[in-house]
Amino acid sequence: MTAERAHGKRSQRAVGIAVAAVLLAGGAVAVQATRSDGSATPPGSVGAADASGLVDVSTRDRAIATRSTARTKGPRVVPAATTKKPECQLDLGYGVWAIDLTAARSLTMLAAVAYRDGLSYVKAARAFEHGLTKEGRVPLRADQARSEIRFKRLHPVPRTTSLDAVYALFRPHTLTCVTPQRGMPQQLMASNGLTLRTIAMIRGWAEAYGGRPIGGFAPGGVSGGHIENSAHYDGRAVDIFFSLSDPDNKARGWLLAHWLIAHADYYQIATLIFDDTVWSNVNSVMGWRPYVHPSGDSTNVTLRHLDHIHADVVRGYAPQ
């Protein structure tokens, strides 16, 4: 049964890659996301024109952030919390920095866009640092993040801790956020095999991070290859793949996993599983926890989620 499920995931990955291009470029699907307050954005059509940057589901690996000789200022001392009641914790390697959700979303967006476009991680760190000084801070969109990174600043050297915050996103389970439980309506699966919330999540990370091979869904839905009552069967889940043949892919995967956790409330993400660990919005206060597949298999890389991120959105309440 274990081998059968692993084979099922491989088959659905191939189908999912083909479907994703149609899904994101076909223009036949309405997309709806949720704001941090739980309200919904107006649905918009996924047209070929505005989806041109999202169609790529191939693997085009970019350089990861690693410690360099870049000039920074200040000691490696954990900064004060960014707000009185921060929702997130970021492990810098020498202490945990308490940051608010807005800061977490902006930090992960800046790092993801820098990765996507091959921009300077040092400039991304400086942009993050500058953003923390603004009154009425709001999370950055992908286009805003790119502009902030490329902006020529009078004092371009970032603080050491700001650059360390960017580096941290490429390491395992360094960022975790506590998210509230919201009452969201249940959504039916569309003909492409996904719910609208799932599509919104895919569009969100693809716009920020860039393309990845995806799977775990198919037109009309899937009925096998996963555990009982899997979110895949409801069209609420997608698998995002990172080949084990490239040792840097673990870092690439964790950058995306941390982007997803920072945006979990916005996209109503329920569960993230990657690299033997799991995060869920129900138990978000516990952060990343060890994950063991229900079968007990500790050798299969796919069942351990070493080669892919599983991301699913909330089921929502059934209509009365």
Which ranges of the chain have pLDDT less than 50? 1-4, 14-56
CA distance 22 to 46: 10
Distance CA 41, CA 39 (A): 7
The H-assigned helical ranges of the chain are 2-25, 101-117, 121-131, 142-150, 160-168, 196-209, 249-262, 264-267
Q: Which of 96, 130, 124, 126 is nearest to 110 (CA)?
A: 124
80, β-bridge pairs: none
What pLDDT is recorded for position 48? 25
Identify the DSSP state of 49: T
CA pseudo-torsion sign 32, 143, 250, 72: negative
How much is the pLDDT for 227?
A: 82
pTM: 0.83
DSSP states along 144-208? HHHHHHHS--SS-PPBHHHHHHHHHTTSTT-EEE-------B--PPPTTS--HHHHHHHHHHHHH
Q: Taking CA 288 as the corner, what is the angle to CA 300 and CA 60, rounded to the nearest 5 degrees?
A: 60
**The tokens of 196 are what?**
């609208």
pLDDT given for residue 15 in this prediction: 45
Pull the structure tokens for residue 38. 């739980």
Residue 279, phi then psi, degrees to nearest 5: -130, 140
Residue 156 sits at the vertex; the CA angle it makes with 152 and 158, to the nearest 5 degrees, is: 140
For 209, phi then psi, to 5°, come to -100, -30
The DSSP secondary-structure symbol of 285 reads G
Q: Residue 27: what pLDDT?
A: 34
Rounded to a whole number, what is the distance in angstroms from the first to the last CA of the chain? 37
Q: Return the pLDDT at 25.
A: 44
Domain segments of the chain as ranges: 2-60+180-313, 88-169
Query: Which residues make Cβ contacts (< 8 Å) with residue 289, sequence separation at least 6?
Result: 277, 278, 279, 283
320 token code pair: 């009365």
